[in-house]
């Protein structure tokens, strides 16, 4: 007997609004809500300027950081980690990008040594590493190395055809009818040409199937025996012989969950169970760490049906998870609903055709789906030349956030699932969700009595530099040891932290940009033997996906040659200053703020011995000589006394603990001396005053640090570059003989629309010397979380 329930008025889009039920259901929602509060949902989207590059070129990109149930701009992280992976998932390029007010921009200078092939760009934050690499942003790009004939010999694909089967809900159960989805990969030609049949152990055909879009499809099966007893035989016109694969094993007992689109406004959920199973189960519908619906289901004669209104389900992808009353997960299923809230963007050039070196005026407008308001939105714009090599449309932010960010692997043409019509779209969507859906939760962690702290903490104020301390000559961690990190330079920057039980020490470094040299050390008075290892901030885990196979196409030989010539000419004649770094305005105030006293030594008679400088001019520091050498004592001005311990002494921001080496410094190399004449609390350390010595160049002036100190170059957040686009405003500029073979005409990562009058914004740039069709791509995100994209084209006619 089926029980039909129409669920309405549940406030599905409001945080924490679920049906309040006593007992197991209440515990389920409470623990899930607690987990969600401790684990905010976060995603990144990268807008790359184009889909294809030549080795040695620069790729430009914008980062959008979003999160929460509405996928609105989320200011949780201040750093995005961006990598380029080769076909073997080995990083060939890594960089950190600063996120400011949920946005970031950066560049990837692709090494000229990279071979031709398809590469993967991935991006993530430290916080996203808690979910695993499946949650990272991934996009495939094509790279051509035209300096060699073929870039790289292509390895033959040895994996051959492969077929995977995915029972709806997760498990095949004896006696229960299930929908089984499948995905075919590695086939010669379109996967939709494949057909197959399912045989039982007697060789009887119990189901047939044929592939649909993307080599995916599904069929219905009612297993009659348990165990691994069913075999699928796949045939394809280009395969020399059929492919034989086993279906997933059939369980003797269990549950089957089905979710079906039952009309324009409804979704029907069906649960079946074998007689020996608990006849009361719990349903949790959730999206983006937000509980949308919690509902107990009572099975009658082993089945129950629940009908939901689509208008009450979250937009995008929802997870339907079935639990026992003891909170054990049973089945998981995804459902996709096309987002209704979308940022409508429009881009219109002032003409459909242009001549070389002519001004283009591009009008941008943004509006809500109804067109009644113009929400504030952040946009990024790219204009690049279309040819046979880069004709594929790039991924868009609205399709990524609405669908593909919740799926595994690569989705071919995501726009199809948003815009196509007809009954076949619903079937294709079901196939996609069943084969490429994934669950981000480890439910044991959700329902643990005492939730474990996240392994990776967010970075709201800057990158966290991590190092590991071990005892000398062993791998044994060294806990509870105060460690210092400094960046030598004219800006005095010093950080400290204590190692945890695993010997890990973490420094929050908001001011580290570029590739500075960092110095890590401990106080030798506490320890003089520990070993320090600087840890990479990049993720060492990779999602089980690969870039699409790459092969040079003979018919594109002329296009390859043309690209090679254009790139070489552009590199030869382009101004080397065309990629300037944006002017940085770092805070020049030292970490300790305004010192109690500051001495510019050039204003005084210069002595050749630092002891004389201190005794003659610096009244706040007393020099003492004892059997073990020099000691410095800072006068505690606040308490009218003298500290008994040495102060923290810095040379260009680097701690120096040996006072004899300090006093041996050549004072003629020191420009400035600051004194903190009171007790100073700095992170986990307390100093008996502080003396900071700054050299003229900020480079330690050849001072030899202790051999046990770790000195290493560190890749901080990258410095931003400004995109260069030539202007042809005068006849002389238009008639210049300097060739302009740019493939990328325009890139603007920071376009902002306002609500002032809804008139939009006009962008201006100039065409180059290359005739052809050019694509304009606009991506954007509104403050409300509505995402949108649009594109258009225009022509550049050749010179006559």
The CA-to-CA distance between both ends of the chain, in Å, stands at 79
Give the bridge partners for 95, in sequence order. Answer: 82
Contact 310, 754 (CB under 8 A): no
> Pairing state of beta strands 280-287 and 290-298?
antiparallel
Q: Mean of the pLDDT values across residues 242-257?
A: 93
Tell me: domain 159-290+309-339, CATH 3.40.50.10190, correct?
no
Percent of the chain with pLDDT strictly greater than 70: 91
The tally of CA atoms less than 13 A away on the side-chain side of residue 126 is 25
Contact 505, 469 (CB under 8 A): yes
The yes-or-no verdict on residue 391 having pLDDT over 80 is no
Contact 173, 274 (CB under 8 A): yes
Q: Mean of the pLDDT values across residues 135-162?
A: 69
Contact 692, 594 (CB under 8 A): no
Q: For the chain, what are the domain ranges? A: 159-290+309-339, 464-534, 597-711
Contact 306, 269 (CB under 8 A): yes
The yes-or-no verdict on residue 671 having pLDDT over 90 is yes
Contact 761, 364 (CB under 8 A): yes
Handedness of CA 755, 760, 766, 771 (dihedral sign): positive
Summarize pLDDT for 324-378 with one digit per residue, the tens.
Answer: 999 999 999 999 999 988 899 999 999 999 999 999 999 998 887 665 556 688 9
Summarize pLDDT for 449-476 with one digit per residue, the tens.
Answer: 887 888 899 999 999 999 999 998 899 9
Secondary structure class of 659 (helix, strand, coil) = helix
pLDDT value of residue 562: 80
What six digits make up the tokens of 588? Answer: 């020049």
The yes-or-no verdict on residue 202 having pLDDT over 60 is yes
Secondary structure class of 566 (helix, strand, coil) = helix
* Nearest C-alpha neighbor of 466 from the set 81, 8, 7: 81
Element spanning 248, H or E = none
pLDDT value of residue 67: 95
H/E/C letters for each residue in 608-622?
Answer: CCHHHHHHHCCCCEE
Summarize pLDDT for 751-791 with one digit per residue, the tens.
Answer: 988 654 545 789 999 999 999 999 999 999 998 889 999 99
Secondary structure class of 42 (helix, strand, coil) = strand
Which residues are CB-neighbours of 464 under 8 A, at least 6 positions away? 126, 457, 506, 507, 508, 509, 537
The yes-or-no verdict on residue 147 having pLDDT over 90 is no
Give the integer Cα–Cα distance in Å for 433 and 435.
6
* Nearest C-alpha neighbor of 62 from the set 720, 538, 515, 743: 720
Percent helix, strand and coil across the chain, each rounded to 5? 15, 40, 45
Which residues are CB-neighbours of 576 under 8 A, at least 6 positions away? none
pLDDT value of residue 664: 94
Handedness of CA 178, 183, 188, 192 (dihedral sign): positive
Summarize pLDDT for 39-90 with one digit per residue, the tens.
Answer: 999 999 999 999 999 988 899 999 999 999 989 999 999 999 999 999 889 9
Give the integer Cα–Cα distance in Å for 173 and 276.
13
What six digits make up the tokens of 111? Answer: 């090494």
The tally of CA atoms less than 13 A away on the side-chain side of residue 728 is 20
Summarize pLDDT for 492-542 with one digit per residue, the tens.
Answer: 999 999 999 999 999 998 888 888 999 999 998 888 789 999 999 999 999
Higher-confidence position of 193 and 47 = 47
The yes-or-no verdict on residue 650 having pLDDT over 90 is yes
pLDDT value of residue 153: 40
CA distances, 472 to each of 298, 483, 497, 527, 533 (Å) = 62, 16, 20, 11, 12
- Side-by-side strand order, sheet with 178-185: 162-167, 178-185, 216-221
Which residues are CB-neighbours of 1 under 8 A, at least 6 positions away? 300, 301, 303
Handedness of CA 301, 303, 309, 312 (dihedral sign): positive
453 — phi, psi (to 5°)?
-65, 150
pLDDT value of residue 451: 77
Q: Mean of the pLDDT values across residues 310-325?
A: 93
The yes-or-no verdict on residue 678 having pLDDT over 90 is yes
Give the integer Cα–Cα distance in Å for 140 and 153.
20
514 — phi, psi (to 5°)?
75, -145
Split at pLDDT 50, 70, 90, the class of 11 is: very low
* Nearest C-alpha neighbor of 753 from the set 456, 300, 343, 473: 343
The yes-or-no verdict on residue 6 having pLDDT over 50 is no
Secondary structure class of 567 (helix, strand, coil) = helix
What six digits make up the tokens of 444? Answer: 């044991």
Secondary structure class of 66 (helix, strand, coil) = strand
Give the integer Cα–Cα distance in Å for 66 and 769.
39
Contact 659, 650 (CB under 8 A): no
What six digits make up the tokens of 50? Answer: 């184009």
Element spanning 420, H or E = none
Summarize pLDDT for 559-596 with one digit per residue, the tens.
Answer: 888 888 777 777 776 655 456 666 556 677 899 999 99
Q: CB neighbours (10 Å) of residue 611?
A: 14
Residues found in the chain: 800
Give the integer Cα–Cα distance in Å for 182 and 774.
39
Fold of 597-711: Ferric Hydroxamate Uptake Protein; Chain A, domain 1 (2.170.130)
The yes-or-no verdict on residue 438 having pLDDT over 90 is no
What six digits make up the tokens of 107? Answer: 């560049």
Higher-confidence position of 588 and 382 = 382
The yes-or-no verdict on residue 665 having pLDDT over 90 is yes
The yes-or-no verdict on residue 151 having pLDDT over 50 is no
Give the integer Cα–Cα distance in Å for 205 and 228.
16
Give the integer Cα–Cα distance in Å for 717 and 78.
10
Contact 750, 100 (CB under 8 A): no
pLDDT value of residue 192: 65
Split at pLDDT 50, 70, 90, the class of 13 is: very low
pLDDT value of residue 496: 95
pTM of the model: 0.90
pLDDT value of residue 264: 86
Contact 652, 695 (CB under 8 A): yes
What six digits make up the tokens of 606? Answer: 């210069």
Which residues are CB-neighbours of 755 under 8 A, at least 6 positions away? 373, 374, 375, 376
pLDDT value of residue 430: 93
> Pairing state of beta strands 243-246 and 205-210?
unpaired
Give the integer Cα–Cα distance in Å for 316 and 56.
38
Q: What is the mean pLDDT of the chain?
A: 88
Which residues are CB-neighbours of 26 under 8 A, at least 6 positions away? 20
């Amino acid at each position: 007997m089926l029980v039909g329930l129409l669920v309405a008025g549940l406030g599905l889009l409001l945080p924490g609004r679920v049906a309040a039920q006593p007992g197991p259901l209440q515990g389920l929602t409470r623990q899930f809500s607690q987990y969600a509060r401790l684990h905010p949902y976060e995603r990144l989207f990268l807008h790359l300027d184009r889909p294809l590059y030549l080795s040695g070129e620069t790729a430009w990109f914008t980062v959008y950081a979003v999160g929460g149930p509405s996928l609105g701009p989320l200011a949780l992280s201040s750093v995005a980690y961006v990598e380029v992976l080769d076909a073997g998932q080995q990083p060939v390029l890594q960089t950190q990008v600063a996120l400011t007010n949920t946005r970031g921009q950066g560049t990837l200078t692709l090494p000229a040594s990279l071979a031709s092939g398809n590469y993967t760009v991935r991006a993530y934050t430290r916080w996203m590493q808690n979910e695993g690499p499946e949650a990272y942003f991934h996009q495939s790009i094509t790279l051509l190395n035209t300096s060699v004939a073929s870039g790289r010999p292509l390895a033959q694909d040895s994996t051959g055809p492969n077929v995977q089967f995915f029972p709806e809900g997760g498990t095949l159960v004896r006696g229960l009818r299930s929908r089984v989805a499948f995905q075919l990969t590695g086939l010669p030609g379109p996967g939709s040409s494949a057909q197959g049949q399912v045989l039982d152990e007697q060789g009887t055909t119990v189901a047939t199937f044929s592939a649909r879009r993307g080599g995916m499809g599904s069929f219905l099966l009612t297993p009659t025996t348990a165990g691994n007893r069913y075999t699928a035989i796949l045939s394809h016109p280009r395969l020399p012989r059929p492919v034989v694969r086993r279906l997933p094993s059939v369980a003797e007992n269990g549950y089957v969950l089905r979710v079906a689109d039952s009309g324009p406004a409804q979704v029907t959920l069906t649960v079946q169970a074998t007689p020996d199973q608990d006849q009361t189960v719990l349903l949790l519908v959730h999206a983006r760490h937000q509980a949308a619906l919690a509902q107990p289901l009572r099975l009658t004669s082993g089945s129950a049906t629940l009908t939901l209104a689509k208008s009450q389900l979250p937009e995008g992808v929802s997870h339907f998870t079935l639990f026992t009353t003891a909170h054990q997960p049973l089945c998981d299923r995804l459902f996709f609903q096309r987002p209704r809230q979308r940022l409508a963007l429009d881009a219109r050039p002032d003409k459909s055709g242009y001549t070389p070196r002519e001004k283009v005026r591009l009008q941008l407008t943004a509006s809500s789906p109804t067109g009644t308001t113009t929400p504030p939105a952040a946009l990024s714009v790219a204009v690049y030349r279309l040819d046979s090599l880069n004709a594929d449309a790039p991924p868009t932010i609205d399709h990524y956030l609405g669908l593909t960010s919740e799926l595994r692997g690569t989705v071919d043409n995501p726009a199809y699932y948003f815009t196509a019509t007809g009954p076949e779209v619903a079937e294709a969507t079901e196939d996609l969700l069943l084969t490429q859906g994934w669950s981000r939760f480890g439910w044991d962690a959700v329902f643990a009595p005492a939730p474990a702290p996240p392994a990776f903490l967010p970075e709201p104020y800057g990158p966290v530099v991590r190092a590991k301390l071990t005892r000398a000559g062993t791998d044994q961690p060294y806990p509870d040891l105060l460690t210092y990190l400094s960046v030598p330079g004219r800006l005095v920057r010093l950080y400290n932290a204590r190692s945890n039980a695993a010997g890990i020490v973490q420094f929050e470094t908001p001011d580290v940009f570029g590739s500075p040299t960092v110095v890590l050390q401990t106080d030798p008075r506490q320890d003089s033997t520990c070993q320090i290892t600087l840890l990479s901030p990049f993720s060492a885990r990779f999602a089980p996906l690969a870039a699409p196979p790459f092969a040079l196409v003979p018919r594109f030989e002329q296009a390859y040659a043309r690209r090679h010539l254009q790139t070489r000419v552009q590199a030869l004649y382009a101004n080397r200053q065309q990629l300037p770094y944006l002017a940085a305005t770092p805070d020049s105030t030292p970490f300790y703020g305004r010192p109690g006293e500051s001495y510019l030594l050039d204003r005084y008679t210069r002595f050749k011995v630092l002891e004389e400088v201190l005794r003659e001019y610096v009244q706040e520091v007393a020099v003492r000589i004892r059997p073990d050498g020099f000691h410095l004592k800072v006068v505690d001005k606040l308490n009218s006394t003298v500290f008994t311990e040495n102060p923290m002494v810095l040379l260009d921001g680097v701690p120096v603990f040996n006072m004899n080496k300090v006093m041996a410094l050549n004072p003629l190399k020191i420009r400035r001396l600051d004194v903190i004449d009171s007790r100073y609390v700095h992170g986990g350390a307390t100093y008996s005053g502080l003396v900071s010595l700054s050299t003229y160049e900020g480079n330690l002036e050849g001072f030899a640090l202790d051999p046990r100190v770790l000195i290493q170059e560190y890749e901080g957040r990258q410095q931003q570059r400004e995109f260069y686009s030539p202007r042809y405003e005068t006849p002389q500029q238009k008639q210049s003989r300097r060739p302009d073979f740019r493939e990328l005409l325009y890139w603007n990562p920071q376009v902002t629309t306002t609500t002032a009058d809804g008139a939009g914004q006009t962008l201006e740039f100039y065409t180059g010397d290359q005739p052809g069709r050019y694509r304009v791509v606009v991506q954007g995100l509104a403050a409300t979380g509505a995402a949108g994209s649009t594109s258009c084209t225009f022509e550049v006619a050749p010179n006559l």
